[in-house]
A and B are shown apart, each in its own frame.
Chain A
Amino acid sequence: MSRQGKESLMDKASLRRELGLLHATMLGIGGALCAGVFVMLGHAASLAGTAIIFALLLCGIINLFTMCSYAELGTAIPMAGGEYTFAKVAFGGFVAFITGWFEWISNMFYAALCAVGSAYIISYFIPVNIPFTAILMVILFTAVNIRGVKEAGTTEVIMMVALLAMLAVYILGGFLYGPRTDALQISMPGGVWGVIQATAYIFVVYLGAEAIAVAQAEIKSPGKTIPRAIMLSAVVLIVVYTIIAYVTVRAVSPEVLGEKAAPLSFAAEQIMGGFGAILITIAGMIAALSSLNTSIMAQSRVAYALSRDGYFPKALLKIHERFGTPHLAVIVSSIFTGALAATGVVDFVGYATDFGFIVGFSLVNLSLIKLRRKKPRLERPFKAPLYPFTPIAGVVTSLMLLAFIDVGVLTLGAELTILALLAYHIRMVGYYRVRVAFGGISLGIGGFTLLLAYLIRTGFIVLPGMLSPWTTTLFYGLVCVSTIYVLAGVLNITAKA
């Protein structure tokens, strides 16, 4: 049996396949329908005018290219890990690791963004402490994800049905509401360039649907369910977003929308009064929480896959005996998410999410092209149509979006790449050598502290304003620190390999 086959069996034995077509589709829609569309539509409309409808349609088509790649790879390689697993089979080595690294980090940032976003939406009704509420949200959905994948999937279905129902009420209300005078005229204040800018800006609202591919090891009949769920969720998202954009610009002009912090709530208030504003605010909260649920599931599965290959500690592979979930992977990833959520900084978290996901999209499309050449006989229950046009279009459009990203975000991305290089190098050199290195650092600190103590004692270094008794205390304190560090250094260096 091939290594891949063995791993596949391992996944099958350890994670339960409990998600059907409905669960999987809702997972995809829930992953994408985040708070973004509720707050970002205004600025996008100010860039593209009423052509925001076409910008959203264009985003959906670009997303569809990459979703075709996800569907093919998801069915051909039905193992946990999503993009990371695809890149591992296609490229292996550092490319696979960096794909998994960005996938893990971007899902953590995304989860933190959703938690902070939901806290801000709650604060619209009740004055709450934002970081504390965000952390509470993370804890709540961590518990749901530990409890079981089916529970997480069922929670997603309930939230998505409620959310789609609220959006349906908004859309219906929008159609019944009389259009403003020039609503049906296509306006593009920034021309075609403005529409492209809006496309790059609002593309984030489609991110997250690939959670289906990440949770593929837990999907029933993956060969049939994964492509159907991915395509279905991609099409539903295009329809929902396009109609929402149409109804919104039909009721309120793009110029006015661009001035509002919560454009959809404002439009709902114009259409249905106070009830509409409350309805859409609740919908925004549900959207943020459902994305939080999905991203917590996705990040833990990536951590699980990275542990499986030895990049992360093996302890994260542990499956809960009763619930059948990788509970340690869920908890560890959620601790980082909680720490990020505690900052309450939305911009930083949002930018990092964008960068990570777009890099991931490009690598998935490249993995598809590579695998078609490297393993032409690999069993593919679903094949991306119009190959090689679709994956090439996916790469080109993803890179195009990357070009529109803020320079500060690109710098952050470079920093995260350096961090990944360090992590990969540490994993490659092995535990023993890293430990010896840290032993050497401890010895160095110990020696330096001892020298400092000696110089203070002999009066070579005089600390301004410090009295003699305190200098003696400082001397003994530094000697004590030095002893501890020298001992720790020796113990680490002399440890057995």
Chain B
Amino acid sequence: MQGAMGALAVIFAYVLYHNFFNLQDVLNVTAGNLSLYILFLLIFGLLSIISGLFLIYE
């Protein structure tokens, strides 16, 4: 589940970056803060995926 959540976070970051469904306006994300949100989402996502993989691998 942790890994899946991480993957969802990465996908969300991708959707947010490309502004699919006009998400940036819906969430009221300014251009200045966008890169910060993307960075947080990617770090959170990657850490979750790696941690989840450790558990799956076990």
The yes or no answer to A492 lying at the interface (CB within 8 A) is yes
B1-35 residues at the A interface, CB under 8 angstroms: 1-2, 5, 28
| A492 & B51 in contact (Cβ 8 Å cutoff) | yes
| A485 & B54 in contact (Cβ 8 Å cutoff) | no
* Residue ID in chain A nearest B53 by CB atoms: A438
| A484 & B1 in contact (Cβ 8 Å cutoff) | yes
Contact among A465, A481, A488 with B51 in the assembled complex (CB-CB below 8 Å): A488
Of B5, B50, B54, B58, chain A has the most CB atoms within 10 Å of the CB of B54
CB of B45, distance to nearest CB on chain A (Å): 11
Of B28, B50, B55, B58, chain A has the most CB atoms within 10 Å of the CB of B55
| B1 & A435 in contact (Cβ 8 Å cutoff) | no
* Residue ID in chain A nearest B47 by CB atoms: A441
Instruction: Determine the chain B residues whose CB is within 8 A of the CB of A325 once the complex forms.
Output: none
| With A438-B47, A439-B51, A492-B51: A485-B28 Cβ-Cβ less than 8 Å | no
A435 to B48, CA, bound (A): 12
A481 to B50, CA, bound (A): 16
A428-457 residues at the B interface, CB under 8 angstroms: 435, 438-439, 441-442, 445
A465 to B28, CA, bound (A): 10
Instruction: Determine the chain B residues whose CB is within 8 A of the CB of A438 once the complex forms.
Output: 47, 50-51, 54
| With A484-B1, A484-B2, A485-B2: A492-B54 Cβ-Cβ less than 8 Å | yes
CB of B21, distance to nearest CB on chain A (Å): 18
* Residue ID in chain A nearest B2 by CB atoms: A488
| A488 & B47 in contact (Cβ 8 Å cutoff) | no
CB of A318, distance to nearest CB on chain B (Å): 17
The yes or no answer to A491 lying at the interface (CB within 8 A) is yes
The yes or no answer to A495 lying at the interface (CB within 8 A) is yes
A489 to B48, CA, bound (A): 10
Provide the main secondary structure of the chain B interface: helix
| B54 & A435 in contact (Cβ 8 Å cutoff) | yes
Provide the main secondary structure of the chain A interface: helix
CB of A452, distance to nearest CB on chain B (Å): 13
* Per-residue B-contact encoding for A456-497, CB less than 8 Å = 1, 0 else: 000000001100000000000000010011001101100100
Instruction: Determine the chain B residues whose CB is within 8 A of the CB of A481 once the complex forms.
Output: 5
| With A484-B5, A485-B2: A492-B47 Cβ-Cβ less than 8 Å | no
Instruction: Determine the chain A residues whose CB is within 8 A of the CB of B44 once the complex forms.
Output: 445
A435 to B2, CA, bound (A): 14
* Residue ID in chain B nearest A464 by CB atoms: B28
* Residue ID in chain B nearest A434 by CB atoms: B54
Instruction: Determine the chain B residues whose CB is within 8 A of the CB of A495 once the complex forms.
Output: 54, 58
A462 to B58, CA, bound (A): 41
Of A438, A439, A491, A495, chain B has the most CB atoms within 10 Å of the CB of A438
CB of A339, distance to nearest CB on chain B (Å): 13
| B55 & A445 in contact (Cβ 8 Å cutoff) | no
Instruction: Determine the chain A residues whose CB is within 8 A of the CB of B1 once the complex forms.
Output: 484
Instruction: Determine the chain A residues whose CB is within 8 A of the CB of B47 once the complex forms.
Output: 438, 441-442, 445
* Residue ID in chain A nearest B50 by CB atoms: A438
Instruction: Determine the chain B residues whose CB is within 8 A of the CB of A435 once the complex forms.
Output: 54
Instruction: Determine the chain B residues whose CB is within 8 A of the CB of A465 once the complex forms.
Output: 28
| With A465-B28, A495-B58: A442-B5 Cβ-Cβ less than 8 Å | no
A491 to B58, CA, bound (A): 10
Contact among A441, A464, A488 with B52 in the assembled complex (CB-CB below 8 Å): A488
Instruction: Determine the chain A residues whose CB is within 8 A of the CB of B50 once the complex forms.
Output: 438
* Residue ID in chain B nearest A488 by CB atoms: B2
| With A465-B28, A495-B58: A441-B51 Cβ-Cβ less than 8 Å | yes
CB of B2, distance to nearest CB on chain A (Å): 4
A486 to B50, CA, bound (A): 15
A481 to B5, CA, bound (A): 9
* Residue ID in chain A nearest B58 by CB atoms: A495
A442 to B51, CA, bound (A): 7
A488 to B2, CA, bound (A): 7
10 contacts between A and B (CB under 8 A): A438-B51, A442-B47, A442-B48, A465-B28, A481-B5, A484-B1, A484-B2, A488-B2, A488-B52, A492-B55
The 5 A-B pairs with the shortest beta carbon distances in the complex, nearest first, are A488-B2, A438-B51, A442-B51, A435-B54, A484-B1
Further pairs besides A435-B54, A438-B51: 12, Cβ < 8 Å? A438-B47, A442-B47, A442-B48, A442-B51, A485-B2, A488-B2, A489-B51, A491-B55, A492-B51, A492-B54, A492-B55, A495-B54
